[in-house]
Amino acid sequence: DRVTRTGLARVRVVVDEPGLGKSRLVEELARRRSDALVMRGACLPYGQRLPLAALAEAITEQLGIRGDWSPARVRRAIAALRDSPAGDVSGPAIEGHLLALLGLQSGDDGEEEPPHGPGRPAIDARSAVRPLVRAIARGRSVVIILDDLHWADPDLVAFLHEVNAAPWSDPVLFLALARPEPEDRHRGLPLLRMGGLPRSEAARILRATIGGDLPEEVVRRLVERAAGNPLFLEESARMLVERGALVRVGTSWALADRASLEIVPTELRLLVAARLDGLPAVEKRALQDASIAGAVTWQELVERLRQARGAADRSAASSVGDALASLIARDLLRRRPVSSIRGASELEFKHAVIRDVAYESMPRAARADGHRVAAEWMRSNSAGSAVAALAHHYERAWELGRSRTRPARDGTVAGLAAHYLLRWGDDVFAVQPRLAEGLYARGLHVAEVAPEAVDLEVLAGLLIGRAESLGELGRHREAIAAAQLGLDKATGDGPSDTHGLALLALARAYSNLGEVARARGLIGEARAVFEATGNLLGQAQTAHRLAEASRFDDFRGEVDSYRRAYGLYGRARARAEQAMVAEDLAYLLTVVGGSEFRHWFERADRFVTASGDERGRAALHRAWAYAAWYRGALDEALAAAREARPLAADAGDRWIEVDSLLVEALVTASAGAPGEAEIRVAELLAIADLAGARHLRGLVLLCGARPAQRTGHPVRAARRASAARRILVNLGVAMELAEVDLTVAALHLERGAWDRVAAPAWEGERRARANGWRLLVPHGPLLRGRAHLGAGRLAEASHELQRAARLARSLDMPGPLALAEACLAELAALGDGVGPVVGRVVSSVVGGPLGLREAAAIGHEAEGLRAHRDGDMPAAVSAFQTAVRSWHGLGLSVWEARAELFRASALEQRSRGDAARAARRRAAGILGAIRTPPAVAADLGDQAARLSAAWAGRTQR
């Protein structure tokens, strides 16, 4: 009710022991809230191919997509949904979300993509859930039931924590059911505990279970022993009936054997075991066979298991079908209306405890044989989508068939276990690298124990897959060791795709550690291998890896490699990779701008529009925000970043969200209130520290240098810039030092250390040119020109500022262009000349947007200087006062103090000595707070006085 009333999503976890009625609780909730859409999925103890598999099951069942369908059939069904008049569940956006949730990729013209595996791009399943639920619900409240959360994968647990911490603005109740487990995966989530049934309800359940009234003595003893557990009550009553201790008398029951009442076990599992021991032998064996497959089984599999025992099982006097029918009548098994395997009759255990007890009652060797037979049956009857189940059954058959003193009886089983563990790992790598790493490691364990049974190609694949997974998890040293072993195993008589993949895995591990020269050499070897084998996808991956290995020191090489990868992915019909590369190129080229950036941005936009990918849309808004930031179009940058953040949050991409927040911080630090910028910086530093993201920390510290200085903390500003430089140097990110140099130059400029501006400004410009980062280049002459202007070196200032204006104009950089032209206008006023630029700049920047605030302040100064020169002191005082207010809104700087000194000079000309002295005191306070060099502070006052004297003399003449 609260979910419906507030319209906000909530998470609740029902936790208690098996048999206490968790499932009945949610069934009753679903019955009472018939107006809500109820969706249900279950976590599995094994065989889970995807993260969020329980959510995927809940969603796909609503859309009529079955779990046993092949990937090709699932794609066709999704395409049919897209093309049908299905309201909100149609369209390319929903198609893309479904494909992501199911771990598939959209093909081209109906063709299937190359298989997942190491080297394939990550698929963000979490971002798909919310739009899918919203589309299916169509405005209704939703209850999503997640069974067996104690078996949940880490991604599902993380997803629930995210929804709990930041509830969706949609009426969705996530109701998870869990047993108390040592790991307590639900820790930190809101819990509901069932508790035992009251005595009256317990008695009612007993009567309903066997159909009639029970003697009071029986009710009392069973209720005491059950401690309110409904399953215990049901099983104990049925056991007494099956053993003849309770006999029917009319419509009621009588106790025929009081001794049997005394031996009812007091623990649930013992009670279930006692009941199963009392079954006819053929029924018990059928129940044991059914337990091999897990909580769900198939009648045909049970029949196959019986046939595999052959004549050795003389106790089977009746058919398997009769035995299963009897077990259904005893409420131990239940028949499911729809089977996940076509043509097979599907059954499920009434409760997981019954399945566990039946399974554990079998001898180890019988279980081993059963898993082997189950795997063979599934290979023959499933439509190629049971890789995880096959891996589980072959691995269990191998484990149970061996002991510490002897190997497994059948080496073939070990080979099949390793083979299917490799395939399962390749399937989940793109969506769950942590699970993939564990699967590859399990396959390697099989190969270590039974080396003669595992094919060398499979062994190499396991090592390569584990290396790639370890790289995704940041365990790069371990990745190198695994990749080197994989390379050793893959090196045969000639080039092979496996050999090439091993080289790429090793190259990636070295690249991640910053050893790019070694990585590039390995990538070159891999390229030669894939060219020899004609593997287009491998060649594309090689170009992609070369781009990644160039990211620290070769920007143009990185861009060129991405362009080659894009073309090769296209030839390999790998559209998902093409889309990713187009997004990467658009993002990279934000600092270049121009037609090259627009070309890749538009390509990426076409991919995103076609797929409806919300994460991709967020990435494009983020790229546009950075491009606008580098152009100095700060309002545009801020708007794009603010559009990107909620899209990224909805898509579940935390890093795009954080990157967009960084753009907001950069804009605020440049042209907003410095106190607000400091808040953003503190927020981002906390995120970086929590994630251990050193690169992000370096960028945020650099962003925070200017607001620190503008709030009167120049030492803190310098320390932040120095710390940022150290972090980037230690990470080997040499190219980004261009931004550090330009920021350091800006810090010197804003505190009036004119003679310290040129060196870092030249170095920053040099680095930017070497990188090919065109949009940083105009900042070098702009910084130097402003320093010359502040120092009164007008000829030098004119040269640098005109150069900055030409560069900014050619690169379509409105912010730097307006700033350079405003400075030239002030220069004209100071130099006793009025160029045509003055009126244009002032009219365009006064009261202008974020990117023009500094230019507006300078424009007001230019107005004041012209009025002062012309003897119009009231206008001069007013213009300088407006300039002071404009500079003050940007925080403390030498420019505010300089404007105050200009105002003081004009006030003196109006014989307002007290006001002039107050203005000078304010200027001195600012210069002291930002630690302006004393010689510069003195010279600023002298400049204003000299100008005033010169202009006063001219007016008198």
DSSP-derived pairing of the beta strands 37-42 and 191-193 = unpaired
Question: Is the confidence at residue 844, as pLDDT, over 50?
Answer: no
**What amino acid is encoded at 668 in this protein?**
T
Of the candidates 149, 164, 193, which is a domain's last residue? 193
The candidate with the shortest Cα–Cα distance to 18, out of 284, 235, 183, is 235
> Is residue 198's pLDDT more than 70?
yes
Least Cα distance to 498 among 512, 519, 483, 515 occurs for 483
Q: What is the pLDDT of residue 140?
A: 83
348 exposure class (CB count in 10 Å sphere: 0-12, 13-18, 19+):
middle
Domain boundary among 277, 298, 329: 277
**CATH number for 57:** 3.40.50
Q: 671 vs 22, which has greater pLDDT? A: 671
Asked whether residue 115 is assigned to any structural domain, the reply reads yes
Query: Confidence band (pLDDT; 50, 70, 90) for 176?
Result: confident
Is residue 838 over pLDDT 50?
no
Would you state the pLDDT for residue 243?
80
Answer yes or no: is 438 within a domain. no
Strand partners, 37: 142
Last residue within a domain, chosen from 262, 277, 292: 277
What's the mean pLDDT in 544-560?
90
Tokens 């306070």, residue located: 925
Q: How confident is the model over 655-677, as a mean pLDDT?
A: 94
* pLDDT above 90 for 53: no
Q: Are both 123 and 151 inside the same structural domain?
A: yes
897 and 880 share one domain: yes
Give the model confidence (pLDDT) of 737-754 as tens digits.
999 999 999 999 999 999
Alpha carbon separation from 204 to 214, 233, 265, 713, 782 (Å, rounded)? 10, 10, 21, 75, 86
Same structural domain for residues 91 and 207? no
What pLDDT sits at residue 542?
A: 96
Each residue of 587-596: pLDDT tens digit?
Answer: 999 999 999 9
Least confident of 240-249, 294-303, 522-531, 922-931: 240-249
pLDDT of residue 133: 85
**Comparison of pLDDT for 913 and 385, the residue scoring more:** 913
- Considering the chain, what is the average pLDDT of its residues? 84
- DSSP SS3 for 533: helix
What are 40's strand-pairing partners?
A: 145
Q: From 812, 839, 813, select the one nearest 825 (Cα to Cα).
A: 839
Domain region containing 889: 832-957
DSSP SS3 for 733? coil
> Residue 953 — pLDDT band, cuts 50, 70, 90?
low
What are 482's two structure tokens?
């695994």
In whole angstroms, what is the distance from residue 339 CA to residue 299 CA? Answer: 11
* Residue 101 is assigned to a structural domain of this protein: yes
Report the alpha-carbon distance of residue 808 to residue 195 in Å, rounded.
Answer: 72
Task: Count CB-CB contacts under 10 A for residue 317.
Answer: 10
> Are 170 and 209 found together in one domain?
no
Q: How far apart are CA 497 and CA 859, in angstroms?
A: 65
Give the whole-number percent of the chain exceeding pLDDT 70: 84
Could you give the number of structural domains in the chain? 3
Average pLDDT over residues 56-79: 72
How many helices (H) and strands (E) in the chain?
45, 10
pLDDT of residue 118: 62
Q: How confident is the model at residue 726 (pLDDT cuts 50, 70, 90)?
A: very high
Same domain, 254 and 128: no
Residue 506 within any structural domain of the chain: no
pLDDT band at 820 (very low <50, low <70, confident <90, very high): very high
Residue type, 495: P
Does the pLDDT of residue 887 top 80, yes or no?
yes
List 12's β-bridge partners, or say none. 175
Place of tokens 């925000």: 625
* CB neighbour class for 262 (10 Å; exposed up to 12, middle 13-18, buried from 19): exposed
95 and 207 housed in the same domain: no
For residues 92 and 184, state if they share a domain. Answer: yes
The pLDDT score that the predictor gives to residue 272 is: 85
Q: How far is CA 815 from CA 483, 566, 639, 782, in A?
A: 49, 33, 16, 11
pLDDT band, residue 67 (cuts 50/70/90): low
Q: In the prediction, which pLDDT does 90 show? A: 46
- pLDDT of 87 strictly over 60: no
Cα–Cα distance for residue pair 326/676, rounded to 1 Å:
73
Predicted pLDDT of residue 49: 54
Report the pLDDT value the prediction gives residue 116, as an integer from 0 to 100.
46
Q: What is the pLDDT, as a whole number, of residue 408? A: 55
Query: What is the pLDDT, as a whole number, of residue 796?
Result: 96
Predicted confidence at residue 111, as pLDDT, reads 42
The reported pLDDT for the residue numbered 56 is: 85
Would you say residue 329 lies in a domain?
Answer: no
Q: Is the pLDDT of residue 109 over 60?
A: no
Q: What beta strand segments (E) does 17-96 contain?
A: 37-42
Q: Could you give the CA distance from residue 446 to residue 558 in angstroms, rounded to a whole number?
A: 40
Residue 697 CB contacts under 8 Å (≥ 6 apart), including other chains = 685, 688, 689, 727
Q: Are residues 925 and 884 in the same domain?
A: yes
pLDDT digits (tens, 9 = 90+) for 281-340: 999 999 999 999 988 999 999 999 998 877 445 444 358 889 999 999 988 899 988 887
Provide the 10 A C-beta neighbour count for residue 111: 11
In 3D, which of 707, 709, 744, 710 has the Cα closest to residue 724? 744
Average pLDDT on 205-227 reads 79
Q: Is the pLDDT reported for residue 452 higher than 50?
A: yes
Q: What is the pLDDT of residue 667?
A: 96
CA distance 128 to 596: 31
Unique residue bearing structure tokens 């990185």: 558
User: 485 and 466 in contact (C-beta within 8 Å)?
Assistant: no
State what percent of residues in the chain have pLDDT above 90.
Answer: 49
Which two tokens mark 450? 């039974």
User: How much is the pLDDT for 255?
Assistant: 80
The helix-helix angle for 737-750 and 894-909 (nearest 10°) equals 20
Specify the pTM.
0.71
- Residue 837 has what pLDDT? 40
Of the given ranges (144-148, 737-741, 760-764, 772-776), which has the lowest mean pLDDT?
A: 144-148
Indicate the pLDDT class of residue 834, thresholds 50, 70 and 90: very low
pLDDT at 676 over 90: yes
3-state secondary structure of 146: strand
Closest by CA position to 906, among listed 939, 955, 859: 955
Measured distance between the N- and C-terminal CA atoms of the chain, rounded to whole angstroms: 86
Q: Confirm whether 46 is domain-assigned.
A: yes
Please, what is the Cα angle at 835 between 775 and 765, to 5 degrees? 20
Would residue 159 be called left, alpha or beta, if left means φ above 0 and alpha means ψ between -120 and 50 degrees?
alpha
| pLDDT above 70 for 18 | no
Mean pLDDT of the 397-413 span: 76
- Among the residue ranges 130-144, 187-201, 239-253, 373-387, the one predicted with the least confidence is 187-201
Report the Cα 866 to chain-centroid distance in Å. 56
Q: Looking at per-residue confidence, does 603 or 687 come out higher?
A: 603
Are 167 and 211 in the same domain? no
**Same structural domain, 212 and 149:** no
What does the pLDDT average to over 897-923? 93
Q: Is residue 69 part of a domain?
A: yes
Q: Could you tell me which residue, 96 or 490, shows the higher pLDDT?
A: 490
- Higher-pLDDT residue of 875, 851: 875
Residues 18 and 153 in one domain: yes
**Residue 848 confidence (pLDDT) above 50:** no
Is the Cα torsion angle 397, 44, 236, 347 positive or negative in sign? negative
Residue 382's closest CA among 425, 336, 343? 343
My answer on whether 188 and 232 are in the same domain is no
Residue 385 inside a domain? The answer is no
- Joined together, the tokens standing for residue 709 give 């200085």
What are the pLDDT digits (tens) for 506-540?
999 988 887 888 999 999 999 999 999 999 999 99
pLDDT surpassing 50 at residue 110: no
Average pLDDT over residues 953-957: 53
- Strands across the sheet with 346-349, in order? 296-298, 346-349, 333-335
List Cβ<8 Å contacts ≥24 apart for 693-700. 694/727, 694/730, 694/731, 695/727, 695/728, 695/731, 695/733, 696/658, 696/662, 697/727, 698/723, 698/724, 698/727, 698/728, 698/731, 698/733, 698/736, 699/662, 699/724, 699/736, 700/662, 700/665
CA distances from 531 to 489, 542, 543, 581, 839 (A): 21, 10, 12, 21, 63
Strands (E) in 99-205, as ranges, are: 142-147, 172-178, 191-193
